[in-house]
Amino acid sequence: MAYTDNDFRGPYSEADVYDIFDKQGIYYKRRPERYNLLVGSPYDQMKNPQYWIAYHTKSNKPIAVHGVGEWKNVYLGAGLASYGIETGLPKEETEKAGEAIANHVVSMHGDKPFVIFANSKSKPIFNGVGFSDVQFDEDGNVIGQDDVPEDVVDTIERLKAKGSASEAVRKLLVRYADSWFVGLRV
């Protein structure tokens, strides 16, 4: 299914997202339920992350959600989840919703580095929109992330040391000169 900007809505609070999916009989786990290894980290402590939802065009059911929050000078991922199966809609009408909402949210957040923990299902989505793997030296220390706050780097190293199935990926700050120039000319 092709998604358009009309299929995306937000920003919502985490409580709003929970309520929106709950009204459809879909249980959306809040951050404390999802962040077992991130308790006490910037991902857990960031205030008021914002979420955007991809809706099914015809039924107006929520299909997928992606959240982002700010921490110091970076954006942190607050979760990407897709509920195509749970909506009861045909697979061909819900597939790629997670990818579409991730693309939409990432495209709005190019003014700061963006650091996400991605699992095996979401990592290809984020790699497809320009995220790259955070690199480590032989001692497990993060390499070359001088623009990322130290407490975020510490969290990345801690999760790597614990053998987390999720991996840190990040996108550099992106500003497209042609968009800026067009905006200036108008």
Q: Which neighbouring-strand residues pair with 132?
A: 170
- Highest mean pLDDT of the ranges 71-80, 123-132, 177-186: 71-80
pLDDT value, residue 165: 86
* Stretch 42-46: mean pLDDT: 94
pLDDT, tens digit (0-9, with 9 covering 90-100), for 145-172: 999 999 999 999 999 999 888 899 998 6
pLDDT, tens digit (0-9, with 9 covering 90-100), for 65-89: 999 999 999 999 999 999 999 999 9
Instruction: Output b/e per residue, 135-152; b: 16+ Cβ within 10 A.
Output: eeeeeeebeebeebbeeb
Task: pLDDT band for 175, please (50, 70, 90 cuts).
Answer: very low
Q: CA-CA distance, 13 to 116, in Å (whole number)?
A: 19
pLDDT value, residue 117: 92
- pTM beyond 0.85: yes
- Decide if pLDDT at 48 tops 60: yes
Q: Pairing mode, if any, of strands 167-171 and 114-118?
A: antiparallel
pLDDT value, residue 110: 87
Q: Which domains does the chain have, with CATH numbers?
A: 5-185 (3.40.630.30)
Task: pLDDT band for 174, please (50, 70, 90 cuts).
Answer: very low
pLDDT value, residue 47: 92
The number of CA neighbours under 13 Å toward the Cβ of 152 is 26
DSSP letter string, 68-111: EEEETTEEEEEEEEE-HHHHT--GGGTTTHHHHHHHHHHHT--S
Q: Pairing mode, if any, of strands 142-143 and 135-136?
A: antiparallel
Q: CA-CA distance, 56 to 87, in Å (whole number)?
A: 9
pLDDT value, residue 181: 41
- Decide if pLDDT at 179 tops 60: no
